[in-house]
Amino acid sequence: MIEAGLAAGVCLPALDAACSGIRMKRHLAILAVGVTLANARAGAVVYTAQSRAVSVLTTVDAGAASASAPDFAPFVASVERAVQFVGAGGVIRVNHAFAGIDCELDPNRLRLLGQFAGSGGLSVAPDGAEVQEFGQGRITADIDFELGTRVMMTIAAPARPVSGAGDTYKVRLRGPGGGPAGALVEIDETMPPEPLERTISLEPGAYSLAYEVQHTATGDPTTASPGLILLFRSPDLDSDGVVGTADLVRFLGRFGQSAGVWDEAAACDLNADGVVDSADLVTLIGRFGGV
């Protein structure tokens, strides 16, 4: 007993230290497992492929310029050309083409803002021959992503710019299965130019978005501002793979705010009714601790 007591008395601090070390290792191991799981899940939306580009063309000199995104980082770029030419009556005019893009692939939203400007007109050669000159801008984005869980998504775009013959406009979202059955959104230049806003519950799986808009300026200067947003309404607001305290804090920071699809608060409007309120909070709490 005494020996045991002494032994215990001597050994306890050492054991305590040893146990503390073991606890620390276990703690680190649990942390490591947690990090691995978070990385593996990495939020509801994972982008798997991207191809984004802007380009312009001026017909006076058949000149072109373009830029494309090298990776999944925000793509902010613009290209521009401006060339003088002789119009009717010897008046000097400008054949202009500008195209800009600002596109983010955030786990909670895919947002693309575009900008076009341009001008053209009739050029008159010394022999009197007239040619219709135009400035043309083009924006394209092909983006694939995968969903690990069911997500309510809103896709929205302003009405396409009304432009000339030969211009193109496409918004196409395809889901698992591909083909006609997988076509969730399909809009092109043959349809009336109307704003798009549609909320869809997306099942887990692979999706592909194709966006293309081409704007042609044939006369006096014109501008156009196309855009597109896919808003993924997941309560995992920080996209770390779990609905937790950080998401709740972020959510409460937007509580009570109105939320159109283009607003910063929109990701917190989980039921897409235009306001961040208690109904959304109930959804978040219901998923707390899960994905």
Residues that bind Ca ion (CB under 5 A): 236, 238, 240, 244, 247, 269, 271, 273, 280
Query: What minimum distance in Å lies between the beta carbon of 239 and Ca ion?
Result: 7
Whether the CA torsion 241, 246, 248, 251 is positive or negative: it is negative
Query: What minimum distance in Å lies between the beta carbon of 205 and Ca ion?
Result: 22
Query: What minimum distance in Å lies between the beta carbon of 255 and Ca ion?
Result: 10
Place of tokens 């982008």: 47
| Cα 173 to the center of its chain, rounded Å | 13
Of the pair 164, 244, the CB lying nearest Ca ion is at: 244
Of the pair 177, 253, the CB lying nearest Ca ion is at: 253
Of the pair 170, 250, the CB lying nearest Ca ion is at: 250
Structure tokens at 33: 């497992």
Query: What minimum distance in Å lies between the beta carbon of 153 and Ca ion?
Result: 15
Q: Which amino acid is at 192?
A: P
Query: What minimum distance in Å lies between the beta carbon of 192 and Ca ion?
Result: 30
Of the pair 96, 254, the CB lying nearest Ca ion is at: 254
**Measured between alpha carbons, how far is 149 from 85 in angstroms, rounded to an integer?**
56
Of the pair 130, 273, the CB lying nearest Ca ion is at: 273
Place of tokens 């406009």: 169
Query: What minimum distance in Å lies between the beta carbon of 190 and Ca ion?
Result: 35
Of the pair 86, 291, the CB lying nearest Ca ion is at: 291
Of the pair 7, 246, the CB lying nearest Ca ion is at: 246
Query: What minimum distance in Å lies between the beta carbon of 259 and Ca ion?
Result: 7
Q: How many CA atoms are closer than 13 Å to the CA of 100, on its beta-carbon side?
A: 10
